[in-house]
Structure 1
Amino acid sequence: MTAATAEVLGPLLHRCAQGDEKALEQLYRLTSPQLFALVLRMLRRRDWAEEAMQECYVRIWQHAGDYSPAQSQPLTWMSRIVRNHCIDWLRKPQLEVPDADGTIVEAWADDAPGPLARLAQNQDSRRIAECLKRLEAIQRQVIALAFFDDLSHSEIAQRLSAPLGTVKSWCRRGLERLKGCLS
């Protein structure tokens, strides 16, 4: 690990701690070859190593705020997380049941998003909530009625005792402000 790479990884970890997903992508691109080699060497199975790598980067993302440049180099810190995770992985019982006809896999199949996707959804939800707070109260109320209660503009106008055109304007202006805030 060169000093220049350490100078790049430290700020990336700091940006990860602030929730910057692009920083995580860059961090992954720069460090995954070395860390995957470590995981593969420790676990000795490619399928386990691939799964463990995903979990390791989720842990790195979650604990990026704990990184201290005064205590270690960035890759050393990340390697310690990976090493500890691999040790935990090897300690847990690996119960493998043969599944010749695929019934077990089908029973456990899940279309739910993975850990990184859930993390991204959580962050998107926080961003949307923050942007909604910045809207005027009436715009927030109209958007909530339209999207969360699934009401039409006329139903909202009736519920708020407001003219239909006014409700449409509130909704349009609120959505424009939301779009500006989110972009």
Structure 2
Amino acid sequence: MSPDEGRQYLVDRLQAVAAGDRAALRDLYERTSAKLFGVCLRILPDREEAEDVLQDVYLTVWNKAERFDPARASPITWLATIARNRAIDRQRAIGPRAFDRSVDDAADIAADTPDALTQLERGEENRQLSACLDALDARTRGAIVAAFFGGRTYEALATEEGVPLGTMKSLVRRGLQRLKNCLQP
């Protein structure tokens, strides 16, 4: 299956889920859960917490599939964004806590399939996104990639860069606006 066919298949599955098709949700889960679990594990290194969040992700998909717009995002991007946001919400809810594992261990658990960034690099739409990302300055591009493809929180990025949280949020927000303007026809 080509990347474009795979994308269309996921679009079709999401539309079927929006219509209440449980089999479509099951199929969507089988095709995407390993990738989304990897996103959750990058943010929540505790496996049980990540599993709980993953379950919440698919409950959200079931309840909000009708909000998916294939003209605005690819299915995997939409799903990964939900997973990332739910994992960050959970991380904030549980607060700082000692985990038994390192975040680096998540790479060993995720599927051997290409990660979200690799999938985004495929196809014409993805080449345009890559060109628009390349047009950003290195700092902004790095922050956006780390946040949206690496599962990093704004707080972590701000700490690494040694800037206030609001500054990091503004940097990313301005960068996303530039990306949006670049991607619009």
> TM-score normalised to the size of structure 2?
0.49
Structure with bigger gyration radius? 1
> TM-score normalised to the size of structure 1?
0.50
